[in-house]
A and B are shown apart, each in its own frame.
Chain A
Amino acid sequence: MSTDKATLIVESGDFDKIYSAFIIGNGALAMGMDVSMYFTFWGLERLKKNNLDKGPLSKMNFFGLGKLYMKWKMKKANVRSLDDMLDDFVELGGKIFACDMTMEIMGVSKEDLRDEVITEYCAVGTYVKEARESEITLYI
């Protein structure tokens, strides 16, 4: 089996961009790739407990109304929830990395985060090492 690798940086904490990250990540896992996602800055906020789907829409959020409308449309289209997508990601062997510098700057502790899904707390060197072995790298 192929062991091609995809490496994603998730810098945005926006609702739609977190969806993009998990759809691409899960799609790559489903197609037989290894996948690592690096959560940093606003993306890391989404790894806090009960926070994965709490981000605003990146455009037309309208103080949350736009996001409500988007969630309603997604429900009608039977789009899987972000929490379920994270479960799929972990079940298919995807790795999640948390940026330790962001934790320091933003005063986030391990106890604030969903430690059970985080593979490793790391810095840029780990990302570069993985990215240079990857066929796909994305910055979201």
Chain B
Amino acid sequence: MSEKIKVDCKGENCPVPLVETRKAIRKANKGDILIITGDHSASKKEIPMAVEAMGLELLSVEDKDNYWEIKIKV
């Protein structure tokens, strides 16, 4: 059974969004969906780079009012 796991990095600076995403990936089971939110602009580009490097699936990158939301399938 796949789970949805939220990782809120709003207000966090480099390299915390990347690091917290990686921690969540390590704890997740295959098939789980991670929903990462944050407002550090470089991380919006770099989390997808990390996802690609690790061979995971990037589901979406969306801009919300004053933050972004990235969905990943582990």
Could you list which residues of chain A lie within 8 angstroms of chain B, going by C-beta atoms?
1-2, 23, 26-27, 29-32, 77-80, 88, 91-92
Contact = CB atoms under 8 A, between A and B. Distances in A.
A2 B22 CA distance: 14
Give the interface SS of chain A, mostly helix, strand, loop or mixed. loop
A30 B50 contact: yes
Interface of B: 11-16, 18-19, 21-23, 26, 46, 49-50, 53-55
A31 B53 contact: yes
B19 A92 contact: yes
Given A30-B50, A31-B53, A31-B54, A23 B14 contact: yes
Most chain-A Cβ atoms within 10 A of its Cβ — which of B11, B14, B18, B19?
B19
A92 B20 CA distance: 10
**B interface majority secondary structure:** helix
Given A2-B53, A92-B22, A27 B15 contact: yes
A79 B12 CA distance: 7
